[in-house]
Amino acid sequence: MPDALHFPRLSLRGVRILLQQGTDALAAMDWEHRRDLAGSQVSFPATGGRRINAADLARIRARILSIAFEAGYPSVTRDARSSFDKQLARALVEEDLVASPDALRDDVWAFLSTVLLADLVRWRWEATVDRYRGGVRNALQRLWLRGVSFRRDAEADRWELVEGINEDASMSLLERPGLTGSRHVTRAIGEVWLELSRIRPGLPLEAMTRRVSITLRITNQIMPLHLLDGTALEAEIREHFRLAQVTG
Task: Examine the domain organization and report whether 101 and 184 are in the same domain.
Answer: no
- Tens digits of residue pLDDT in 5-40: 899 999 999 999 999 999 999 999 999 999 999 999
Question: What domain range includes position 195?
Answer: 165-248
Point out the domain boundary residue: 94, 120, 149: 149
Structure confidence at residue 224 (pLDDT): 92
Structure confidence at residue 176 (pLDDT): 76
- Tens digits of residue pLDDT in 107-137: 999 999 999 999 999 999 988 889 999 999 9
Task: Examine the domain organization and report whether 23 and 125 are in the same domain.
Answer: yes
Point out the domain boundary residue: 149, 180, 212: 149
- Note whether residue 157 is domain-resident: no
Output the 3-class SS for 29-98: CCHHHHHHHHHHHEECCCCCCEECCHHHHHHHHHHHHHHHHHHCCCCCCHHHHHHHHHHHHHHHHHCCCC
- Note whether residue 191 is domain-resident: yes
- Note whether residue 160 is domain-resident: no
Structure confidence at residue 1 (pLDDT): 40
Structure confidence at residue 132 (pLDDT): 97
Q: Distance between alpha carbon 74 and the CA centroid of its chain, in Å?
A: 21
- Note whether residue 155 is domain-resident: no
Number of domains in the chain: 2
Task: Examine the domain organization and report whether 134 and 220 are in the same domain.
Answer: no
Point out the domain boundary residue: 84, 114, 149: 149
Regions in the chain scoring below 50 on pLDDT: 1
